[in-house]
Structure 1
Amino acid sequence: MQSDQTLKSESHPEVDSAWQTYKRLLVYVRPLWLIFLVSFIGFAIYGAGQALSAKWLEMVVDTVQRNDYDQRWFLAAAVMGIFILRGLGAFIGNYSIAYVGREVIHRLRTQVFERLLLLPSHYYSHKSSGELLAKLTYNVEQVTEAVTNAIKVLFREGLTVAGLLGYMFYLNWKLTLIFIAAGPLIGLVVSMAAKRMRKLSRRIQKSVGDITESASESIKGYQVVRIFGGAEAERGRFEQASLHNKRQFMKLVVTQSLNTPIIQLLVALALSALLFLAMHPDVMGSMSTGGFVAFLTAAGMITKPLRLLTDITSIVQKGIAAAESLFEVLDEPVEQDSGSRTLERIGDIEFRHLHFAYPGTDKEVLQDICLSLPQGRSVALVGRSGSGKTTMASLLPRFNDGWTGELLVNGEPLESFTLDSLRSQISLVNQNVVLFNGTIAENIAYGAMAGASETAILAAAEAAHVTEFVERLPQGIHTRVGENGVLLSGGQRQRIAIARAILKDAPILILDEATSALDSESERHIQDALEEVMRGRTTLVIAHRLSTIEKADIIVVMEDGRIIEQGSHSELLEQQGAYSKFHILQTDTE
């Protein structure tokens, strides 16, 4: 008894969760209730047409038995009318439910994408791009099946079954009760299969994400794969991901393939019992020959819609599993924009005893940071990789939240300002340049700057020395750059990113290894442009090259998340400390 109760407590939450997920999915249908109702009416007409087919057969048999051939005109016209009715109902139902389904998917897909644009940086650190793309493509299509095909089958076949059962009750309620006695057994089989299919569907969706991730990484890094002989390893990784997907899918096919014949066997048992008992006088009652034939025909016609109704279990379970993964994204907390004030001007920026650890970790990557960034001055962050330089720079645009201590702008807490107004005051050029598959002009005048004039874009391009290579391109500044600027060199991509920052003309500039991808000649040109764009702006520079560091007003040396030295270039050289050693090493290298 106790084990039964334990089993119920374990199984019911999963069933309830699945039902809650599906109900939440159906909420998207609510604004389209009128079209949904039209679909229901269309399938109701189709189901009535099925029942009328059985009635028509009864009339034909009785007419032939009575030799009443004068009815042939009516019966001939009736069969045409029934088929026209069924066809019209099927068209109305199919078209309407398809419209509802695609509208639901469009809304759901755009909501998920909009949510992804608002999620904090640490979410992307724990999710691969392949997994997220699989959610927007494969998983959304699985939801389409659950919303469109499943409901279409449910309406069309469900109403057909209801119409045929109603007609069977009308003919002989005793025989109908015998037929539906197999219902509980069918329900048990469907329930057991549903649980299994939902679990397998989750695994399939995860495996699709693994396939997308493996393929995406190999395609993007094809040069590294080929140079370092990684083709065999990548082939093996992709093959394993695809093989895992195949195995999970075949397990689902086995469950589906066993589910259908078992249910058909139960229906056949019900039909055989029906035929055996129908010959008994007490059961047969006063049914006519036509009525008896029509009853058996209706019972036979029910088997196909019943089979299709059981097939929707797998579709719904796949849709529920897919919807769960999408709702997981929609339920993820977005960036916290608790600020209520608009940042209109930039004064001094100050870090006071600031500590920071990434969410889900205990290790502090920034410890007791105390630093002042005077308005209009440049501050260079120097240190080994992993010393906390990039993390520190990421706090200014609030890509990461959750620090302790204070981070002040104009003497006010940074988090008191709205994210939009804060980020509108910041330009960013980082080491991993992000370009979009558009033209050079579109990449310079990106986002809020999309309305910039071509004159302003060309001026920014000139300042960043973009025009040097643009003049040699066939379409000039309107040349397309390919996915992530694949058609350009690393130095050319970097210059476009610098031109983008110049065009924005923001009072705060963050340069994270902004000249790392440039050759020496390009760097000399860009250094002049950067000095111009840095003038009068509060600039935070992360760099290793002396040419960038030496001219900074303040140099901050970091180690293991702490500031160990700070001062001007000459002051730090006099201290003969960590910066001095770094400077000697860089000088020898260069």
Structure 2
Amino acid sequence: MFSKLKFVFKYTHQYRWWYTGGIIFLALTVWASITIPEFIQKTIDLIAAGKAGNESEFQRNVLIIVGLAVTLILVRSLSRILIFVPARLIERNLKGEMFKKLASFPKAYYDENSTGSIISRINNDINGVRMITGFGILQIVNIILSLSLTPYKMWQLSPALTLYCVIPMVVIFVTVRVGMAVMVKYTHLRMGTLQSLSGKTISFLSGNAVIKSFNIYNYAEEEVQHDNLKLFDEGMKISWIRSFIMPLLANLGQILKILVLLVGGLYVIDAKFTIGELTAYIAYAALLAQPIMGLGWVLTIFQQGMVGIDSIQTILSRKGADDERQSLVKEEKEKLFESEIKFENLSYTFHNAEKPALENISFTIKPGQIIGVTGQVGAGKTTLINCLNGYLRPEKGMIYFGKKDAAEMKSEDIRSVVRTVSQEVFLFSDTIENNVAFGSEKAATKNEFDEVIFKSAFREELARFGQKEKTLVGEKGIMLSGGQKQRLSLARALYTPCELLILDDVFSAVDTDTERFLIKQIVENNAAKSLVIVSNRISVLEKTDYTIVLEDGRMAAQGRPDELLKTSDFYREIAQLQKEK
């Protein structure tokens, strides 16, 4: 609990002057609220006395009540503005920190946590923190001030009647507290079910094409319906408890008014109370009911919010892939690929795998070289380039950029040298122009947009679009074909110059003529200082200085294309098959 309160204080302290102003205006709000019944009492007693000559005092009291009411409206509004605004700012900051932290996590984290679960944490858990730092703080201060000043005013009027009022308040509070504990239990279960439902919904929507292809609508519907019904049941249990608790809280003011009217009325009959004092006491009883009602909400908000904070702390306290690595200075970055990139007995095993995906891979990439990587499906080609571009992080002593060990370098330093066009193309729901320029904000130099569109063989397609480069590609590039998406992704990589360009099977979705054009523009015209091309197309591999053949994560052969025809069975077989075609 202490760590969670410390977490809340860390963020609220940044906006301490906002909260200080809000608390001051909240104190003025409570002061105005408890002062108004005093003048109501005096005014009603003047009316009850019915004496001539009291008109001026009566009018003065009415004006004071009006003035206090206007003041109450003003200071109450200001108190909410000064407390709710920093709560929204904290929410904004937390979402930014969460996204930055999530972006720093390695692949293993996303293998263990579904997208729906992560989205649910970002939305629901951070909303819980916002409620604590906004409505929660407002109500806590309001409750403390109200339960300090209002009972004092009531005690001044009648200690005995005040004790009568305490009894129903205590009974209702205890009942509500028990009900809240049960409600929070089901709220925790509901949050877990909501995360599961979010994950399945996103998964099924993303894989809609697969569901259609295999005709598994019933399976998808049953899975979603199971979590949906579970969420409904847990939500109904919360609603049942709330339907019992909320009327108790809502009617607490009415119960106190009836009690005050009953006992206070007897006091008036016995001449122990005036009509004005009874009216003021009823007003105080109504004011006392409000913080008690707020207390129930505060308990719920804090219990739910603390669960959210626990979830947020789990993410923020987790170390990112590069947290313990030092950034390189500009001069060191510029010299990373001055001599070579060297692989020395590279081995890599995924966190959830039993055997290595790569084992004892050794070769060197020198500036100006074109390196090919080929092999059967599952041979480890993509794993190899993901080790090279820093997406996967092997152990120390396996990959060197010059004399720098890649295991000790930050991913952003590695990617200042290496640019990758992966086989898993991702386009944002934005214009073609913005998709090409994505990630180039900090680039020192940029190529011309028209130039990279031409080199990626996308010029003719772009001309056919009505809005040209302003055309929206839709979510994940849904408006484009597979080949168009791949070439647009290639244009993005070519937009900012790099020293080492990795092309992971980018020719797989294009026709022969387009392939020849791309080879000429990228390979023969030196689109980058060096190239690593992952492909099983001989027409592409023939342009390399030497090619690596992978088999079950091991290097089965390496050499120039003409050498591999003699030393590699796999290379020879695909060359023969493609020649026959």
Q: Same fold (TM over 0.5)?
A: yes
- Give the match for residue 387 of structure 1: 379
Does the CA-based 8 Å contact 1:427-1:501 persist in structure 2?
A: yes
CA–CA separation in structure 2 for the residues paired with 1:483 and 1:279:
70
Q: Helix, strand or coil for the counterpart of 2:440?
A: helix
Deviation at 1:164, TM superposition (A): 1.6
Does the CA-based 8 Å contact 2:346-2:360 persist in structure 1?
A: yes
- Give the match for residue 26 of structure 2: 43
- Give the match for residue 8 of structure 2: 25
**Residue identity matched to 1:36:** Y
Q: Work out which of the residue numbers 355, 363, 370 in structure 2 matches 1:371.
A: 363
Deviation at 1:68, TM superposition (A): 4.2
CA–CA separation in structure 2 for the residues paired with 1:103 and 1:222:
37
Note if 1:566 corresponds to 2:566: no
Note if 1:303 corresponds to 2:293: no
Question: 1:87-98 alignment to 2 at 5 Å?
Answer: 87-98=73-84
Note if 1:414 corresponds to 2:400: no
**Residue identity matched to 1:328:** T
Note if 1:251 corresponds to 2:237: yes
Distance 1:251 1:224, change over 3 A: same
- Give the match for residue 322 of structure 2: 336
Deviation at 1:273, TM superposition (A): 8.6
**Residue identity matched to 1:371:** F
Q: Work out which of the residue numbers 311, 330, 337 in structure 2 matches 1:325.
A: 311
Distance 1:285 1:566, change over 3 A: farther
Q: Helix, strand or coil for the counterpart of 2:333?
A: coil
Distance 1:78 1:57, change over 3 A: same
Does the CA-based 8 Å contact 1:513-1:541 persist in structure 2?
A: yes
**Residue identity matched to 1:468:** E
Note if 1:128 corresponds to 2:114: yes
Q: Work out which of the residue numbers 327, 342, 350 in structure 2 matches 1:358.
A: 350
Does the CA-based 8 Å contact 2:30-2:142 persist in structure 1?
A: yes
Equivalent pairs: percent with the same residue? 22
RMSD of equivalent CA atoms: 3.5
TM-score (norm 1): 0.85
TM-score (norm 2): 0.86
How many residue pairs are counted as aligned between the two chains? 570
CA–CA separation in structure 1 for the residues paired with 2:319 and 2:244:
42
CA–CA separation in structure 2 for the residues paired with 1:490 and 1:176:
76
Question: 1:106-505 alignment to 2 at 5 Å?
Answer: 106-177=92-163, 179-180=165-166, 188-189=174-175, 191-261=177-247, 290-291=276-277, 294-336=280-322, 338-341=325-328, 342-345=332-335, 346=337, 347-359=339-351, 363-403=355-395, 405-448=397-440, 456-505=448-497
Deviation at 1:310, TM superposition (A): 1.0
Deviation at 1:423, TM superposition (A): 0.9
CA–CA separation in structure 1 for the residues paired with 2:431 and 2:256:
68
* Structure 1: stretches of 5+ with no match in the other structure: 1-15
CA–CA separation in structure 2 for the residues paired with 1:521 and 1:437:
29
The C-alpha deviation readout for 1:108-130, integer Å capped at 9, x for no partner, is 22222222232223222323333
Deviation at 1:428, TM superposition (A): 0.9
**Residue identity matched to 1:29:** T
Deviation at 1:302, TM superposition (A): 1.9
Q: Work out which of the residue numbers 24, 33, 39 in structure 2 matches 1:56.
A: 39
Note if 1:513 corresponds to 2:505: yes
Does the CA-based 8 Å contact 2:557-2:567 persist in structure 1?
A: no
Q: Helix, strand or coil for the counterpart of 1:448?
A: coil
Does the CA-based 8 Å contact 1:50-1:164 persist in structure 2?
A: no
Higher mean C-alpha displacement, 318-327 vs 217-226 = 217-226
CA–CA separation in structure 2 for the residues paired with 1:486 and 1:500:
17
- Give the match for residue 70 of structure 2: 84
Does the CA-based 8 Å contact 2:116-2:202 persist in structure 1?
A: yes
**Residue identity matched to 1:205:** M
Does the CA-based 8 Å contact 2:260-2:281 persist in structure 1?
A: no
CA–CA separation in structure 1 for the residues paired with 2:258 and 2:474:
67
**Residue identity matched to 1:344:** E
Q: Helix, strand or coil for the counterpart of 1:506?
A: coil
CA–CA separation in structure 2 for the residues paired with 1:560 and 1:329:
35
Distance 1:533 1:36, change over 3 A: farther
CA–CA separation in structure 1 for the residues paired with 2:574 and 2:379:
14
CA–CA separation in structure 2 for the residues paired with 1:35 and 1:319:
21
Distance 1:279 1:467, change over 3 A: closer
Distance 1:23 1:418, change over 3 A: closer
Higher mean C-alpha displacement, 226-235 vs 41-50 = 226-235
**Residue identity matched to 2:320:** V
The C-alpha deviation readout for 1:398-421, integer Å capped at 9, x for no partner, is 112242542112243123444333
CA–CA separation in structure 2 for the residues paired with 1:533 and 1:220:
38
Q: Helix, strand or coil for the counterpart of 2:156?
A: helix
Deviation at 1:575, TM superposition (A): 3.0
Does the CA-based 8 Å contact 1:343-1:417 persist in structure 2?
A: no
The C-alpha deviation readout for 1:271-292, integer Å capped at 9, x for no partner, is 89989988999xx997656445
Does the CA-based 8 Å contact 2:431-2:470 persist in structure 1?
A: yes
Distance 1:289 1:271, change over 3 A: closer
Q: Helix, strand or coil for the counterpart of 1:471?
A: helix
CA–CA separation in structure 1 for the residues paired with 2:182 and 2:9:
23
Question: 1:537-576 alignment to 2 at 5 Å?
Answer: 537-575=529-567
CA–CA separation in structure 1 for the residues paired with 2:271 and 2:532:
94
Deviation at 1:445, TM superposition (A): 2.6
CA–CA separation in structure 1 for the residues paired with 2:380 and 2:209:
30
CA–CA separation in structure 1 for the residues paired with 2:173 and 2:526:
72
